[in-house]
Structure 1
Amino acid sequence: MHIHNLSQKNSVLNTFISEVRNVNIQKDRMRFRRNIERIGEILGYEMSKILNYKSVSVETPLGTSSVQVLENDIVLCSVLRAGVPLHNGLLNYFDTAENAFISAYRHHEQNSENFEIIVEYLACPNLENKTLILADPMLATGQSMVCAFEALKPYGTPKEIHLVSVIGAQEGIDYVEKHFDKTTHLWIATVDEKLNNKGYIVPGLGDAGDLSFGEKLQH
């Protein structure tokens, strides 16, 4: 797997990462969502540098200009609900992409620390020979990313796959690396060193879904 950890080079991305981690700034949900969206825009921009392009002629008021434009047939899939702001950021740059959405959540049996990933909803176009961008903001154990991809397989075989996350743990990165083809690209804003005993990223930022949209009732 090709891993692109953007935190290895300093950029304005660091500012947005610091703000989504900050417990005081997190209280502003609109700002939290916008920062995740901006991180998605930056990750999408960096990804765009290795995609495929074709030359087109554009008529201007004064003549003709030859421009290299993106030619990838993109399907953008995000894991609900936390993935929505990240999805919007990517869609701001890949605005002609088709879109897919999948629900994947942790189910804890009798409130135990052990869990399984449950997929309950999926809406997806044909993926055959397309560029799949699979976005999940928190790459913790990596299980939700893998389960989401397994659920997408009946919709066709993508030509190429790009995984996008805001924050990951090394354990989760190692897990997805074992389950995706070596040609897969992972685009991630920063990587933390470990998971706690409940499988959450430390230091991480907390629950991205709750911080974006409010706390949910447990069931």
Structure 2
Amino acid sequence: MKVYQISRGNSILNKFLQEIRDVEIQKDSMRFRRNIERIGEVLGYELSKKLEYGKQTVTTPLGEKTADAIQNDVVLCSILRAGLPLHNGLLNYFDDSENAFISAYRYHPNNDEEFEIIVEYFASPPIEGKTVLLIDPMLATGRSLVSVYQALKKYGTPKEIHIVSVIGSLDGIDYIKNHFPVNTSLWIADVDNDLNSKGYIVPGLGDAGDLAFGQKM
């Protein structure tokens, strides 16, 4: 698996990352959502450089122009609910893509730190031979992404998978490397070193879904 950590270079992305981590700026949920969306746009732009291109001719009012155009059949697949703002950012750039949505959440059967991943709602087009962008803002343990990938298999075998995340942990990245096929790339804004005992990224930013949409029951 190829890993592209975009924060390693100097760009406006780092301003957006700083703001989504800031506990004061996080109080503005609309700005939090917009910053996640803007991070999605940056990641989408960088990812687009690795797709396949072919010549396409368009007619202008004064003549014709041939340029390179993306040839991939792109499917954006987001994990609900936290993935929605990131999905919107990618959709701003891949605006003619197909879209899939899946719910995956942590279930603590014993009300302790042990959990399992529950996958329920899933709406997806066929993905056979397509380029799937699997979208989850927080790559903590990696178990949610692996569970979603297992569920995706019933819809076909994609040509390639691009995982798109905002912040991940080293442990989570190592975990998905062992469970995704070789034709997978990870596009991530930033990587933190640690997970706490509950499997949350440290320093991270907290619960992305709650910060974007309010606390859940």
- What corresponds to 1:105 in structure 2? 105
Partner secondary structure for residue 45 of structure 2: helix
- What corresponds to 2:134 in structure 1? 134
| More displaced stretch, 60-69 vs 112-121 | 60-69
Letter paired with 2:95? D
- What corresponds to 1:83 in structure 2? 83
Tell me the distance in 2 between the aligned counterparts of 1:38 and 1:71: 24
Q: Where in structure 2 are there 5+ consecutive unaligned residues?
A: none
Partner secondary structure for residue 178 of structure 2: helix
| More displaced stretch, 177-186 vs 113-122 | 177-186
Q: Where in structure 1 are there 5+ consecutive unaligned residues?
A: none
Please list the CA deviations of residues 121-155 of structure 1 after superposition, one character each: whole Å capped at 9, or x if unmatched: 10010000000110000000000000001001000
- What corresponds to 2:117 in structure 1? 117
Does the alignment pair 1:11 with 2:15? no
The TM-score normalised by the length of structure 1 is 0.98
**Correspondence list, 1:6-85, <5 A:** 6-85=6-85
Q: How far 1:110 sits from its partner (Å)?
A: 2.6
Partner secondary structure for residue 109 of structure 1: coil
Tell me the distance in 2 between the aligned counterparts of 1:74 and 1:25: 33
- What corresponds to 1:192 in structure 2? 192
Q: How far 1:71 sits from its partner (Å)?
A: 1.1
Letter paired with 2:144? S
- What corresponds to 2:164 in structure 1? 164
How many residue pairs get aligned? The number is: 217
Tell me the distance in 1 between the aligned counterparts of 2:109 and 2:155: 30
Q: How far 1:44 sits from its partner (Å)?
A: 0.4
Q: How far 1:120 sits from its partner (Å)?
A: 1.0
- What corresponds to 2:143 in structure 1? 143
Letter paired with 2:3? I
The TM-score normalised by the length of structure 2 is 0.99
Q: How far 1:183 sits from its partner (Å)?
A: 2.4
Q: How far 1:79 sits from its partner (Å)?
A: 0.2
Tell me the distance in 2 between the aligned counterparts of 1:62 and 1:26: 49
Tell me the distance in 1 between the aligned counterparts of 2:58 and 2:109: 58
Letter paired with 1:205? L
4+ long deviations beyond 3 Å: none
Q: How far 1:64 sits from its partner (Å)?
A: 1.0
- What corresponds to 1:178 in structure 2? 178
